[in-house]
Amino acid sequence: MKITGYRSLHTVHDWGRVTGDVNGVQTGNTTPVPVLILETDSGLTGVGVGAHGDIARVFPAIDGEDPRSVVALYDRMLDWVFKAGHSGSTFGTIGAVDMALWDLKSKAADEPLWRTLGARDRFVPGYASGLEYGLTDDELADLYGRFADRGFKAGKLKGGRDIDRDLPRLELMRDVLSRNAKHPALMFDVNETWNHAQAARYVAAIEERLDLTWIEEPLRRWDAAGMASLRGKIRAAIASGENLTGLEQYRPLLDANALDIVQVGNVWGITHFLRVATLAHGHDLPVSPVAYNTNPIAHAAAAVPNLLTHEVQDLSFPTGLDVDQSFEDGGIVLGDRPGIGIVVDESLLAEAEGAAAAPSATGPHIRPERAALRLVAEPDVNDDPTVPLRPVS
């Protein structure tokens, strides 16, 4: 079996609600979902999800190769781009290709990827994480109520700017999830919006009323010394790593004992996750994947010995993608369909292309101008995407 080509497709995920975090809120209910199809001379196709803008640059590294050599091809892709570096969008492209290669490998074996990777159980424990910063309290309760209906007993809240808003919402999430556990696990994600002093004060204020299971990305992703120092000042575990690309970016954090929970983004690929999980396991640390559409890393998460929990952001899937997963008992139940379990209906993808909201000047993927530079942690007019930014004088 040889790789012969690729196709780049696009669809959308309709959340039925706005999504966002302390850095900003999306302007509509849909977000774009890039889909990569790898073609082979055998007729099998591999599916990868995630941005892959550098595919024309990376594809020659695998063109004509046997996709079952996926681990060697992963390193070949890294070698192919080593002069310019593999971080950022290039690493995302390699991750999408890597997913499609693993999809092909397990399809060739006629088994689901979790089985190919050696997992014993198809169940992946999870936690609810609704990207709910832009929702009202009633909408938040309804959202986590739907997660609770599927057995979830752990949840994550976005926040970090207004303690008077965040505390009642954390308590609301706790109360909703309490139907499944006497003491549900509560996580709080501030998406790198604090400086060190703000982080220590804010978490201390929360911990006067609540027990946090972890605080996520309290400081910039590379701040090993800051997070190591913060660990001695708070009770909550520190979780970070979703935006790190490559083992070399994790080493300083692990060497500094800066993390309690090692996170890995779904968009960076399966091989990357497996390698980071092994590195974390060597430091006696648990690993937790940060979700993306269709949860492709869940197959690999089922196979590692140090999985803590997998983020679940929504209970539905992007338009035109039939995904062999269900959400039960507070986690992801993987199916028996060969490969990653995604069937693509390209006729539905074509209809979805025009449905995504246009990019805006604010949003969860755009760092605010004054992030970590505010004296007072409270909402600002520029946090509201419906309000024009202050003019530059």
pLDDT at 358 over 70: no
Terminal C-alpha separation, the chain: 61
Mean pLDDT of 324-334: 98
Helix, strand, or coil here: 129?
Answer: strand
pLDDT tens, position by position, 57-67 = 999 999 999 99
Percent share of the chain, pLDDT over 70: 93
**Above 80 in pLDDT, residue 240?**
yes
The answer, yes or no, to whether residue 359 has pLDDT greater than 60, is no
Cβ neighbours for 245, distance < 8 A, ≥ 6 positions apart: 86, 87, 88, 91, 268, 272
Whether the per-residue pLDDT at 40 is higher than 70: the answer is: yes
How many helices (DSSP H) and strands (DSSP E) are in the chain?
12, 17
Residue 386 has a pLDDT of: 45
- pLDDT greater than 80 at residue 385: no
Nearest to 270 by CA among 130, 73, 85: 73
Mean pLDDT of the chain, nearest integer: 93
Rounded to an integer, the average pLDDT of 179-202 is 96
Tokens, residue 170: 């954390």
C-alpha 380 chain-centroid distance = 27
At residue 87, the pLDDT reads: 84
Residue 390, pLDDT > 80, answer: no
Residue ranges of domains in the chain, CATH in brackets = 3-111 (3.30.390.10), 115-350 (3.20.20.120)
User: For residue 83, what pLDDT is reported?
Assistant: 82
The number of C-alpha atoms within 13 Å of 96 and in the hemisphere containing its C-beta is 27
| d(C-alpha 64, C-alpha 51), whole Å | 23
Radius of gyration from C-alpha coordinates of the chain? 21
User: Which residue intervals of the chain are DSSP H helices?
Assistant: 55-58, 70-80, 89-108, 113-116, 137-149, 163-177, 196-207, 224-231, 247-255, 270-282, 298-301, 346-352
SS (H, E, C) 312-331: ECCCCCCCCEEECEEEECCE
pLDDT range class, residue 356, cuts 50, 70, 90: low
Q: Check residue 12 and give its pLDDT.
A: 96
Residues 108-140 have pLDDT tens digits of: 999 999 999 999 999 999 999 999 999 999 999
Q: Which helix (H) or strand (E) holds 14?
A: strand 3-14
> Residue 384: what pLDDT?
53
* pLDDT of amino acid 355: 59
More confident residue, 5 or 356: 5
Residue 128 and residue 16: Cα distance in Å, rounded?
Answer: 16
Q: Which amino acid is at 254?
A: L
Q: What is the mean pLDDT of residues 196-222?
A: 97
User: Is residue 306 scored above 90 in pLDDT?
Assistant: yes
Question: Is 261 a residue whose pLDDT tops 50?
Answer: yes
Q: Supply the pLDDT for residue 275.
A: 98
pLDDT score of 368: 86
For 199, the token pair is 């982080």
